[in-house]
A and B are shown apart, each in its own frame.
Chain A
Amino acid sequence: MGINDLYNQIIVENSRSPHHRHAVGGATISLEGVNPSCGDDITLQLRVKDGIVQEAGFTGEGCAISQASTSLMIDLIEGKTVEEANQLAGLFFGMIKGEVTGEDELDALGDAVALQGVSHMPSRVKCAVLAWHTLQDALGEQA
């Protein structure tokens, strides 16, 4: 895999995209996720009502992989039920671990499939999964 496959257009654009970088009005939960070894640090905010993730946003800093992953995750989970969001997180972990590779199976991840290249880069896995672990922890606390 070449370096441009890892840093493909979707990742590069989403890593700098501002569209989910904001606080969420009426947030029901706010949770910080940190990778102490490399300094990725995001705060994820969710407004969950009637079992639906109505809105999500984040603030924080980190590498392109962690930032793109957070932004792509939010694209995906807004409007989903808590259960669906958790399932997507499970699917994402499966892709990053290299356990789920089928195109059809991964279809539900939408543009987040652009992060599949990370499955070949053990040193960057924690960057890709930070937002998703934070999401699962946040949804767990919400429940």
Chain B
Amino acid sequence: MKNLLNEFPLLAVPENGKRLVYLDNGATTQRPFAVLNAVEEYYKKNNANPHRGVYDLAMRATDAHEGARAVVAGFLNAEPDEIIFTQNTSEGLNLVAYSYGLEFLKAGDEIALSVAEHHSNLVPWQRVAKATGAKLVYLYPGADGRLTKEEISAKIGPNTKVVAVAQVSNVLGLAVPIAEIVRRAHEMGAVVVLDCAQSTPHMQVDVKALDVDFAAFSGHKLYAPMGVGALYGKKELLEKMPPFLSGGDMIASVHEQSTTYAPVPRKFEAGTRNVGGEVGLAAAIQWLTALGWDEIEAHEQALMQHALAGFAKLPYITVYGDAAPQGRYGVISFNVEGVHPHDVATILDADGVAVRAGHHCAQPLMEYLGINACCRASFAVYNTIADVDQLLESVQKVRGCMGFGDQ
């Protein structure tokens, strides 16, 4: 991978007097000039309220909005009218939970989800379960953090109506066997809702090949601005679902006592949209995919292997989930024996190394793993082997700093 650091203005600024080693990409990435400039261009040259004006400028804004939708559709191998712009993954998952879950689930139905789900793909389903009388059924990974075929067959059954899973866990970094899950779910007549927040930055996601029914992701984890994301839904499902939010722009016609809705996807896009963000998202997708997926995966895999090999030499480090790098994308969660993750993160920060510490919005998984919290190093295309070396060097200072005499 060519050196990308000079394309990211924020990464050029020192942190605590040191070069910034930004390893919290699972939370949000930094943005390249390609994205920042595209957003600025839009506001300088093309900004108006799309769909609301007949003048030329409004047409250009509409083109920017619909052009971005086409780019997102291409990115996921979907049709443009199957792409709904959202604020983020959370909004996409909530849309499916309320417009699909509340509408089509009833008492006795089951919603199957992994215990590793981010709260965004868990709390909305808890609310749907409460409102409809449906039951939440959890899939538990094995000791290696991976879901087995047996667990998939055991938990997805004839009463399952929705299967909601993250393609890649934001804590374990492991990809779920999605082909297996989709096959079983469809055999049982359930729809599959895929949380792609942590997969889209690291692998090509083809919703047609996967045959998932819904897929949600966030722009900000994918080098795009905050406040924009997208939801894919199969058209026949989107068409039979009621709107999520309602109001301006999502209607065909409104009378005193009744309304007909716009066709999908506009039925699900109430109010003025974040067109600047959408333009930034399209630019980010174009920037990322121009690097080439093979190259991206090979580079991130090399970072991962280097980090895992380094951690394996440190007896006081526990890595969560199968420490083999196969099927692991972008994320390594770990703990340092005897030291609370927040203290680890503070000590790393003093060296300019930014990692996240906490429960990572996955408290049921923390409980399942028997821990309160952990540290997470997460990688992006611009990270380098030197970044991983700095992480490994700094992590070796932690126990000494906390008064353990083993170094």
Contact = CB atoms under 8 A, between A and B. Distances in A.
7 tightest A-B CB contacts, nearest first = A63-B340, A3-B350, A63-B342, A12-B403, A39-B373, A64-B343, A39-B372
B359 A7 contact: no
Contacts of B346: 3, 6, 121, 123-124
B291 interface: no
A9 interface: yes
B: contact size bracket: 10 to 19
A38 B387 CA distance: 25
A41 to B, nearest CB: 8
A33 interface: no
B401 interface: yes
Interface string B150-169: 00000000000000000000
B181 to A, nearest CB: 30
Contacts of A99: none
Interface string B343-364: 1001100100000011100000
A63 B343 CA distance: 6
10 contacts: A3-B347, A3-B350, A7-B347, A7-B401, A13-B403, A38-B357, A38-B373, A39-B358, A64-B343, A124-B346
A65 B345 CA distance: 13
Nearest to B397: A3
B222 to A, nearest CB: 25
B309 interface: no
A50 to B, nearest CB: 37
A9 B402 CA distance: 9
A38 B359 CA distance: 7
**Is chain B's binding surface mostly helix, strand, loop or mixed?**
mixed
A10 to B, nearest CB: 11
A7 B357 contact: no
A41 B357 CA distance: 15
B373 A64 contact: no
A7 B402 contact: yes
A127 B358 CA distance: 13
Nearest to A61: B372
A64 B338 CA distance: 10
Interface string A11-26: 0110110000000000
Interface in A33-63: 37-41, 61-63
Nearest to B338: A16
A76 B346 CA distance: 27
A13 B404 CA distance: 10
A62 to B, nearest CB: 7
Nearest to A4: B401
Given A38-B342, A39-B373, A124-B346, A9 B403 contact: yes
Contacts of B340: 61-64
A28 B402 CA distance: 35
B342 A124 contact: yes
Nearest to B342: A63
A38 B347 CA distance: 16
Given A9-B403, A62-B342, A64-B343, 6 more contacts: A7-B347, A7-B401, A38-B342, A38-B357, A64-B340, A123-B346
A102 interface: no
A40 B402 CA distance: 18
Nearest to B348: A3
Interface in B231-281: none
Contacts of A140: none
A37 B358 contact: yes
A2 B350 contact: yes
Contacts of B357: 38
Interface centre among B339, B340, B341, B372 (most CB of A within 10 A): B340
